[in-house]
Amino acid sequence: MSLDRQKLRWNGWGWVDAPDFLGDKAEAVWAWIARTMGVEALPSTPAKALSEISLPPSRLNTECVARLREVVAADRVMTDPYERAYHARGRSYHDLLYLREGHLETAPDAVVYPLSEDEVLRIVEFAVRENIALTAFGGGSSVVGGVTPLLLEGQKGVITVDMTRMDQILEIDETALVARVQTGVYGPQLEESLQARGFTLGHYPQSFEFSTLGGWIAPRSAGHQSNKYGKAEHWLVSARMATPRGLWETEGFPGSAAGPQGRDIIAGSEGVLGIITEAVVKIHRVPEVKDYRAYLFSSFGDGVNATREMMQSGVATAMIRLSDLSETFFYSALDSGGAGADSPAVFCVMLVGVEGERSEVDHTLERSRAVIKRHGGIHMGEGPGVAWYEKRFLTPYLRDPMMDRGLGVDTLETATRWSNIVPLHDRVTKAIADALAENAPAAGASGIVMAHISHCYRDGASLYFTFAFPRALDQEVGQWLAVKKAATDIISAHGGTISHHHGVGTDHVPWMVQEKGPIGMDVLRAVKTRVDPAGIMNPGKLL
Amino acid sequence: MSLDRQKLRWNGWGWVDAPDFLGDKAEAVWAWIARTMGVEALPSTPAKALSEISLPPSRLNTECVARLREVVAADRVMTDPYERAYHARGRSYHDLLYLREGHLETAPDAVVYPLSEDEVLRIVEFAVRENIALTAFGGGSSVVGGVTPLLLEGQKGVITVDMTRMDQILEIDETALVARVQTGVYGPQLEESLQARGFTLGHYPQSFEFSTLGGWIAPRSAGHQSNKYGKAEHWLVSARMATPRGLWETEGFPGSAAGPQGRDIIAGSEGVLGIITEAVVKIHRVPEVKDYRAYLFSSFGDGVNATREMMQSGVATAMIRLSDLSETFFYSALDSGGAGADSPAVFCVMLVGVEGERSEVDHTLERSRAVIKRHGGIHMGEGPGVAWYEKRFLTPYLRDPMMDRGLGVDTLETATRWSNIVPLHDRVTKAIADALAENAPAAGASGIVMAHISHCYRDGASLYFTFAFPRALDQEVGQWLAVKKAATDIISAHGGTISHHHGVGTDHVPWMVQEKGPIGMDVLRAVKTRVDPAGIMNPGKLL
In a domain, A100, yes or no: no
Q: Give the residue from chain B lying closest to A242, CA to CA.
A: B519
DSSP string, B115-127: -SHHHHHHHHHHH
Mean pLDDT across B37-54? 96
Say yes or no: A262 and A297 in one domain.
no
Give chain A positions within 8 Å (CB) of B264: 260-261, 264-265
What is the 8-class DSSP label of residue A233? H
Q: CA B178 to CA A159: how far, in whole Å?
A: 45
Beta carbons of A251 and B497 less than 8 Å apart? yes
| Buried residues in B52-89 as b, exposed as e (16+ CB within 10 A) | ebebeebebeeebbeebeebbeeebbbbebebbbbbbb
Q: Give the residue from chain B lying closest to A246, CA to CA.
A: B519
A406 to A334, A473, A480: CA distances (angstroms): 18, 7, 13
Output the domain CATH number for residue A433. Answer: 3.40.462.40
A515 to A65, B234, B256: CA distances (angstroms): 41, 21, 10
In a domain, A543, yes or no: no
Assign 3-class secondary structure to A109-132: CEEECCCCHHHHHHHHHHHHHHCC
Q: Give the residue from chain A lying closest to B231, CA to CA.
A: A255
Say yes or no: B342 and B199 in one domain.
no
| Distance in Å, alpha carbon of B36 to nearest chain A alpha carbon | 34
Mean pLDDT across A216-226? 98
Say yes or no: B342 and B399 in one domain.
yes
pLDDT score at B345: 82
Percent of chain A with pLDDT over 90: 95
Which of B256, B285, B314 is a domain's end point? Answer: B285
Sheet with A348-356: strands ordered across:
A378-381, A289-297, A348-356, A319-323, A448-453, A460-470, A407-417
Q: Does B352 touch chain A (CB under 8 A)?
A: no
Q: Which residue of B246, B253, B525 is in closest CB contact with A519?
A: B246
In a domain, A335, yes or no: yes
Q: Does B433 touch chain A (CB under 8 A)?
A: no
pLDDT score at A343: 78
List, for residues A513-539, the tens digit of each pLDDT value: 999 999 999 999 999 999 999 999 999
Say yes or no: A326 and A461 in one domain.
yes
Q: Are A128 and A244 in contact (CB under 8 A)?
A: yes
pLDDT score at B342: 73
Say yes or no: B386 and B404 in one domain.
yes
Q: CA A383 to CA B444: how far, in whole Å?
A: 74
Beta carbons of B257 and A516 less than 8 Å apart? no
In a domain, A455, yes or no: yes
Q: What is the pTM of this model?
A: 0.98
pLDDT score at B343: 78
Please say if the pLDDT value at position A453 is more than 70.
yes
Output the domain CATH number for residue B232. Answer: 3.30.465.10
State which H helix or E strand residue A431 sits in. Answer: helix A418-438
Please say if the pLDDT value at position B1 is more than 80.
no
In a domain, B113, yes or no: no
In a domain, A306, yes or no: yes
Say yes or no: B320 and B454 in one domain.
yes
Beta carbons of B257 and A268 less than 8 Å apart? yes
C-alpha B199: how far from chain center: 24
Q: Does B255 touch chain A (CB under 8 A)?
A: yes
Q: Are A167 and A184 in contact (CB under 8 A)?
A: yes
Q: Does B365 touch chain A (CB under 8 A)?
A: no
Q: Does A478 touch chain B (CB under 8 A)?
A: no
List, for residues A62-103, the tens digit of each pLDDT value: 999 999 999 999 999 999 999 999 999 999 999 999 999 999
What is the 8-class DSSP label of residue A23? G
List, for residues A52-71, the tens digit of each pLDDT value: 999 999 999 999 999 999 99
Mean pLDDT across A304-317? 98
Say yes or no: A347 and A246 in one domain.
no
Give chain A positions within 8 Å (CB) of B282: 458-459
Could you give the angle at the alpha carbon of A209 between the alpha carbons of A205 and A214, nearest 5°? 65
Number of domains into which chain A is organized: 2
Mean pLDDT across A227-249? 98
In a domain, A468, yes or no: yes
pLDDT score at A218: 98
Q: Going by C-beta distance under 8 Å and a sequence separation of 6 or more, which residues neighbour residue A46?
A: A404
In a domain, A268, yes or no: yes
Beta carbons of A269 and B257 less than 8 Å apart? no
Residues of A forming the active site: 464
Please say if the pLDDT value at position A2 is more than 90.
no
Q: Going by C-beta distance under 8 Å and a sequence separation of 6 or more, which residues neighbour residue B195?
A: B286
What is the 8-class DSSP label of residue A177? T
Exposed (0-12), middle (13-18) or buried (19+): which is A52, by Cβ within 10 Å?
exposed
| Distance in Å, alpha carbon of B167 to nearest chain A alpha carbon | 23
List, for residues B388-400, the tens digit of each pLDDT value: 999 999 999 999 9
Residue type, position A37, single letter: M
Please say if the pLDDT value at position A154 is more than 90.
yes
pLDDT range class, residue A1, cuts 50, 70, 90: low
Exposed (0-12), middle (13-18) or buried (19+): which is A367, by Cβ within 10 Å?
buried
Q: Going by C-beta distance under 8 Å and a sequence separation of 6 or more, which residues neighbour residue A211?
A: A138, A139, A141, A186, A187, A205, A221
Assign 3-class secondary structure to B149-165: CCCCCCCCCEEEEECCC
Mean pLDDT across B236-256? 98
What are the start-end ranges of the H helices in B52-166?
62-71, 81-86, 93-101, 117-130
Say yes or no: A449 and A309 in one domain.
yes
Beta carbons of B520 and A251 less than 8 Å apart? yes
| Distance in Å, alpha carbon of A163 to nearest chain B alpha carbon | 21
Beta carbons of B415 and A260 less than 8 Å apart? no
Say yes or no: B472 and B487 in one domain.
yes
Average pLDDT, chain A: 97
Percent of chain B with pLDDT over 70: 100
Q: CA B222 to CA B231: how far, in whole Å?
A: 5
List, for residues A341-351, the tens digit of each pLDDT value: 777 788 999 99
Q: Going by C-beta distance under 8 Å and a sequence separation of 6 or more, which residues neighbour residue B78?
A: B84, B110, B111, B112, B113
Average pLDDT, chain B: 97
Which of B285, B311, B339 is a domain's end point? Answer: B285
Give chain B positions within 8 Å (CB) of A269: 259-260
Give chain B positions within 8 Å (CB) of A258: 268, 497-499, 503-504, 508, 512, 515-516
Q: Going by C-beta distance under 8 Å and a sequence separation of 6 or more, which residues neighbour residue B296?
A: B347, B348, B349, B350, B377, B378, B380
For chain B, the 3-state helix, strand and coil shares in percent, each to the nearest 5, are 40, 20, 40
Q: Give the residue from chain B lying closest to A250, CA to CA.
A: B516
pLDDT score at B335: 87
Q: Which of A402, A453, A456, A410 is nearest to A432 (CA)?
A: A410
Cβ-Cβ pairs closer than 8 A, A with B, add up to 267
Beta carbons of A459 and B259 less than 8 Å apart? no
Mean pLDDT across B380-389? 95
Give chain A positions within 8 Å (CB) of B175: 308, 417-419
Give chain B positions within 8 Å (CB) of A508: 258
3 state SS of A6? helix
Please say if the pLDDT value at position B340 is more than 90.
no
Q: Going by C-beta distance under 8 Å and a sequence separation of 6 or more, which residues neighbour residue A266?
A: A217, A236, A239, A241, A248, A250, A273, A276
Give chain B positions within 8 Å (CB) of A506: none
Say yes or no: B446 and B377 in one domain.
yes
Say yes or no: B309 and B419 in one domain.
yes
Q: CA A228 to CA B460: how far, in whole Å?
A: 18
Percent of chain B with pLDDT over 90: 95
Q: CA B408 to CA B411: how far, in whole Å?
A: 10
- The Cβ of residue A69 has, within 10 Å, a number of other Cβ atoms equal to 15
Mean pLDDT across B102-121? 98
Task: Tell me which residues of chain B, numbers 154 to 213, contact chain A at a CB-CB cutoff of 8 Å.
Answer: 173, 175-178
Domain span including residue A456: 289-493
